[in-house]
Amino acid sequence: MVEELAVIPHFGDENAEKVHRSIALAAPGLPVVGLPSAPRSSADPDGGWRQAGQGDAQVFVSGKPAGIDALPH
């Protein structure tokens, strides 16, 4: 469990309008990460994040694309 983070599982497999609405309605500054079915994102012991597997997680903050570094440490 990670505090201060919203997750959209199976990102890319669902209704685009619902995803857009979820990202747009998230609290300002709250990272929203869309996780496709194949990739894995995990927290390192030092608090950083890494991705493995096929596909990439998509991170959004305040409705705009952001990098994985925007996730909480």
Model pLDDT, residue 10: 80
Model pLDDT, residue 29: 94
| 22-40 tens-digit pLDDT | 899 999 999 999 887 765 6
Structure tokens at 67: 């990098």
Residue 11 placed within a domain: yes
Count Cα neighbours of 37 within 13 Å in the Cβ-side half-sphere. Answer: 3
| 49-66 tens-digit pLDDT | 766 656 678 899 999 999
> pLDDT-derived band of residue 11, with 50, 70 and 90 as boundaries?
confident
Residue 51 placed within a domain: no
Note the pTM of the prediction, 2 decimals.
Answer: 0.69
The domain tally of the chain equals 1
| Residue 31, domain extent | 1-37+56-66
* Distance in angstroms (rounded) separating the CA atoms of residues 61 and 70: 8
Residue 67 clears pLDDT 60, i.e. is over it? yes
